[in-house]
């Protein structure tokens, strides 16, 4: 497999209200990849068509200003800086989106728009035909399912959070009808790709995300690092653990200053062909109570956020790699989870 993560595409297809959008968007954020919510694109088309715009104008607008955001399990859809999430989920827009999704001409025109999201550091694409039609050669294809009762409850909560007042029984009937419509339509029916990995999303949201994330980790290319780098990474991590356990901030900072200067002289520049992963990110992380009292590690969220920011926001470099090694030492003291170098660089 190529070492270039820009070629990686993860598709997330599945039934309505299985949590596809929020899970796929959060997965993309966690991996530092682009996100495509194809269902939202059809809803946006319906929304703007109801306001008199033609398809070409809508495509141009979405190409220039469409953005997806994920916060604490919620995915929101923004166009020209406006959050349209609630507006594109009302009943009128939902019905029209379903109708235009059956139109061959519309689906054909929107296919190019969707494929255009494949850039940057890879793509997580969510929808109903991502793995079968839009990205048939995707690196990994996930297919999400859940019992209709679970999905109806989830949809009810989602709509209530948007200020709407849905009826549960009505939602069950609508979801069953939507399933039948999606699975039997002539154009791009909802069917799992032959090589899809099934994910039952009846579990807690965090558990579902972790399950999907672990599937992605198995297919991501790994960077082979020089043996000397591995040895220094391990040494920095071990030293960091030792100083963290002593709990003296001044000693820790003094150690890190000398360690950083020494490693910077020995290794310089960007690590070619590598990009950070985020294996340490666990929502609601609870530190090991035995070590939670250590003054140097009181703010556990700060350690997590520091690691996450390094993984997502920086280019891989030896300077940053050894900084991550030091953070891994702190994390090991807090969590009893010892991360190796192969867990960090992809």
* Residue 106 C-alpha from the chain's centroid: 28
324 in Cβ contact with 310 (< 8 Å): yes
Q: Is 85 annotated as a binding residue?
A: no
User: Per the annotation, does 19 bind a ligand?
Assistant: yes
Task: Find the DSSP H helices in 71-204.
Answer: 91-100, 104-115, 148-161, 168-184
Is 317 assigned to a binding site? no
- Residue 15 assigned ligand-binding role: yes
Residues 21 and 149: their CA atoms lie apart, in Å, by: 18
Residue 170 marked as a ligand binder: no
Distance CA 117, CA 26 (A): 16
- Only one residue has tokens 């993309």, namely 28
Alpha-carbon torsion (101, 105, 108, 113), positive or negative? negative
Q: Which whole-number Å values give the CA distances from 209 to 19, 95, 292, in the listed order? A: 10, 29, 27
94 labelled as ligand-binding? no
Residues 6+ positions from 4 with CB-CB distance below 8 Å:
273
Say if CB 330 and CB 303 are below 8 A apart: yes
Q: Determine whether the annotation assigns residue 18 to a binding site.
A: yes
For 262, what's the count of Cα atoms within 13 Å in the CB-facing half-sphere? 10
Residues 6+ apart with CB under 8 A from 301: 285
Which long-range contacts (C-beta less than 8 Å, at least 24 apart) are formed by 196-199?
Answer: 196/13, 196/131, 196/141, 196/142, 196/143, 197/140, 197/141, 197/142, 197/143, 198/142, 198/143, 198/145, 199/14, 199/142, 199/143, 199/144, 199/145
* Residues making up the binding site: 14-22
Q: Residues within the annotated binding site for ATP?
A: 14-22
């Amino acid at each position: 497999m190529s070492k270039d993560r820009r070629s990686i595409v993860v598709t997330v297809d599945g039934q309505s209200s299985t949590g596809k959008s929020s899970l796929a968007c959060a997965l993309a954020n966690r991996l530092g990849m682009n996100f495509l919510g194809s269902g939202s694109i059809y809803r946006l088309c319906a929304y703007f068509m109801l306001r008199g715009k033609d398809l070409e104008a809508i495509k141009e607008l979405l190409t220039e200003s469409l953005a997806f955001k994920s916060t604490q399990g919620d995915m929101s859809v923004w166009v020209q800086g406006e959050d349209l999430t609630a507006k594109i989920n009302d009943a009128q827009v939902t019905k029209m989106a379903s109708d235009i999704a059956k139109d061959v001409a519309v689906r054909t025109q929107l296919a190019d728009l969707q494929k255009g999201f494949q850039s940057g550091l890879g793509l997580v694409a969510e929808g109903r035909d991502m793995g079968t039609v839009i990205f048939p050669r995707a690196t990994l294809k996930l297919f999400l399912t859940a019992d209709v009762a679970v999905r109806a409850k989830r949809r009810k909560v989602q709509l209530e959070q948007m200020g709407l007042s849905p009826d549960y029984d009505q939602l069950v009937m609508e979801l069953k009808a939507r399933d039948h419509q999606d699975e039997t339509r002539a154009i791009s029916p909802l069917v799992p790709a032959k090589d899809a990995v099934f994910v039952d999303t009846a579990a807690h949201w965090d558990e579902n995300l972790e399950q999907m994330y672990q599937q992605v980790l198995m297919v991501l290319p790994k960077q082979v690092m020089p043996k000397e780098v591995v040895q220094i990474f391990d040494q920095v991590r071990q030293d960091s653990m030792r100083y963290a356990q002593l709990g003296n901030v001044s000693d820790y900072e003094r150690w890190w200053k000398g360690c950083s200067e020494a490693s910077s002289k020995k290794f310089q520049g960007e690590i070619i062909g590598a990009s950070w992963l985020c294996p340490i990110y666990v929502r609601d992380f609870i530190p090991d109570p035995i070590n939670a009292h250590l003054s140097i590690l009181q703010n556990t969220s700060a350690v997590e956020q520091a690691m996450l920011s390094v993984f997502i926001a920086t280019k891989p470099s030896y300077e940053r790699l050894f900084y991550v090694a030091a953070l891994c030492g702190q994390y090991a003291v807090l969590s009893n989870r010892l991360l190796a170098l192969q867990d960090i660089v992809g």
